């Protein structure tokens, strides 16, 4: 039997090449080796306010992009979190075994709560819901970026605490970090990880950005005052452009050195832009095909929910039994 994996993406902001190289590309490559479940975690998105119309559109856009990058709905289940109510149900049960102190220590909570005037309870509960996403499917492996590693540790802490209070119930999920080089930084600020909330600017390259815009953003990317690529002292901006190309082309470091060493920055950028455009265009083409077929994405999501629902139901039932909650006969 194949081991089960779960991972998720929030349907807020625009999916960008950092999401692709750091997560989606990896999912596509490993989906056949596991029983794969990929979530569009809309309940996480609403921990900060989302415009309802935009959120609705983004959920379908995200699902279509999953398909466009190569997630195969015959092999993998694509699931919208809110369409499987057991995620929320289990989250409550896990909340009851989670000390508030564990949640207040989360770095993402600390960062996000600083940006808010009033801190929604959901922002604090965010990692408990994430634990529920994983534990509801008894996932053995969770492929995530390193920024989510702390949430994964907390997931294991919650699972362990539950198991020790109520008896062995949950599988301990292992973290699966992507390979080195897939951490894509912002084009305008190579010290910061590329973020979803800023694709309009020169910060991120959206998977659905028109090719002309992609070229412009890359030509304007922050570099340094050296004239040409020198692998013995790469500035963060240049390194990022090289890493992006290397990841898209699946080159080794030696291959990318051969490609870029000694190249003037202007030529480097032109070359990187062509690489990115040549990889993103086929994704956009498939995206257009997928979204031009009425009802197709909804059908994939319905099928995904239907496939995983029995797993979620049986976990909730087990948890209820363990906790002494009422389970109808």
Binding mask 99-138 for ligand TRP (x = CB under 6 A): -------------------------------x--xx----
Rank residues 15 and 41 by Cβ distance to ligand TRP and give the closer one. 41
- One residue of 4, 6, 123, 194 binding ligand TRP per CB under 6 A: 6
Counting beta carbons within 10 angstroms of the beta carbon of residue 232, is it exposed (0 to 12), middle (13 to 18) or buried (19 or more)?
exposed
Active site residue 193: yes
The span from the CA of 268 to the CA of 276, in Å, is 12
Three-state DSSP class for 77?
strand
Binding mask 252-281 for ligand TRP (x = CB under 6 A): ------------------------------
Min dist CB 202 to ligand TRP, Å, is: 23
The span from the CA of 154 to the CA of 102, in Å, is 8
Min dist CB 41 to ligand TRP, Å, is: 4
CB atoms within 10 A of CB 305: 18
Contact flag: residue 26 with ligand TRP (CB under 6 A): no
Min dist CB 39 to ligand TRP, Å, is: 6
Q: What angle do CA 141, 9, 281 make, to 5 degrees?
A: 110
- One residue of 4, 10, 12, 62 binding ligand TRP per CB under 6 A: 10
Rank residues 44 and 203 by Cβ distance to ligand TRP and give the closer one. 44
Active site residue 112: yes
Min dist CB 251 to ligand TRP, Å, is: 26
Of the candidates 239, 215, 230, the one whose C-alpha atom is nearest the C-alpha of residue 263 is 230
Q: Which of 193, 216, 313, 320 is catalytic?
A: 193
- What phi and psi, each to the nearest 5 degrees, are found at residue 324? 85, 15
Contact flag: residue 204 with ligand TRP (CB under 6 A): no
CB atoms within 10 A of CB 291: 17
User: DSSP alpha helices (H): ranges in the chain?
Assistant: 17-19, 25-30, 42-45, 52-69, 86-95, 100-104, 107-114, 121-135, 149-166, 211-219, 236-249, 253-260, 265-291, 296-323
The span from the CA of 214 to the CA of 244, in Å, is 13
Q: Which of 2, 25, 58, 112 is catalytic?
A: 112
296-323 vs 149-166: helix crossing angle, rounded to 10: 40
Min dist CB 75 to ligand TRP, Å, is: 19
Min dist CB 107 to ligand TRP, Å, is: 12
CB atoms within 10 A of CB 228: 14
Rank residues 41 and 272 by Cβ distance to ligand TRP and give the closer one. 41
The span from the CA of 10 to the CA of 13, in Å, is 8
Min dist CB 102 to ligand TRP, Å, is: 16
The span from the CA of 129 to the CA of 120, in Å, is 14
Rank residues 95 and 256 by Cβ distance to ligand TRP and give the closer one. 95
- One residue of 4, 44, 183, 215 binding ligand TRP per CB under 6 A: 44
Contact flag: residue 8 with ligand TRP (CB under 6 A): yes
The span from the CA of 185 to the CA of 240, in Å, is 6
Q: Which residue is nearest to ligand TRP (CB)?
A: 8
Q: Which of 58, 196, 269, 279 is catalytic?
A: 196
Residue numbers 127-186 binding ligand TRP by CB under 6 A: 130, 133-134, 142, 144, 148, 151
Rank residues 39 and 181 by Cβ distance to ligand TRP and give the closer one. 39
DSSP 14: -
For residue 99, what are its two tokens?
């000390």
Three-state DSSP class for 85?
coil
Sites of contact with ligand TRP (CB under 6 A): 6-8, 10, 41, 44, 130, 133-134, 142, 144, 148, 151
The residues carrying an active-site annotation are: 112, 193, 196
């Amino acid at each position: 039997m194949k081991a089960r994996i779960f991972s998720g993406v929030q349907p807020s902001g625009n999916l960008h090449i950092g999401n692709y190289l750091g997560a989606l590309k990896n999912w596509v490559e490993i989906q056949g080796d596991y029983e794969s479940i990929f979530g569009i975690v809309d309940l996480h998105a609403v921990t900060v306010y989302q415009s309802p119309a935009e959120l609705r559109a983004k959920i379908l856009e995200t699902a279509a992009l999953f398909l466009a990058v190569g997630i195969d709905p015959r092999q993998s289940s694509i699931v919208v979190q809110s369409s499987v109510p057991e995620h929320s149900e289990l989250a409550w049960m896990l909340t009851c075994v989670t000390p508030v102190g564990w949640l207040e220590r989360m770095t993402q909570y600390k960062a996000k709560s600083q940006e808010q005037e009033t801190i929604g309870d959901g922002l604090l509960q965010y990692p408990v819901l994430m634990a529920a996403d994983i534990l509801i499917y008894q996932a053995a492996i969770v492929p995530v970026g390193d920024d989510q590693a702390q949430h994964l540790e907390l997931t294991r802490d919650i699972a362990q605490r539950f198991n020790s209070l109520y008896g062995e119930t949950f599988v301990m999920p292992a973290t699966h970090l992507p390979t080195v080089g897939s951490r894509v930084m912002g084009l305008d600020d190579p010290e910061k990880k590329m973020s979803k909330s800023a694709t309009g600017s020169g910060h991120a390259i959206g998977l659905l950005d028109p090719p002309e815009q992609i070229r412009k953003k890359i030509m304007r990317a922050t570099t340094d005052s050296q004239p040409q690529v020198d692998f013995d002292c790469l500035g963060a901006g240049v390194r990022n452009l090289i890493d992006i190309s290397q990841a898209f082309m699946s080159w080794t470091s030696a291959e990318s050195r051969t490609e870029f060493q000694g190249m003037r920055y202007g030529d480097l950028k032109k070359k990187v832009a062509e690489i990115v455009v040549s990889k993103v265009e086929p994704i956009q083409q498939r995206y257009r095909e997928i979204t031009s077929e009425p009802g197709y994405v909804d059908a994939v999501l319905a099928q995904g929910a239907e496939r995983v629902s029995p797993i979620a139901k049986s976990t909730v039932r087990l948890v209820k039994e363990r906790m002494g909650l009422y389970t109808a006969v």
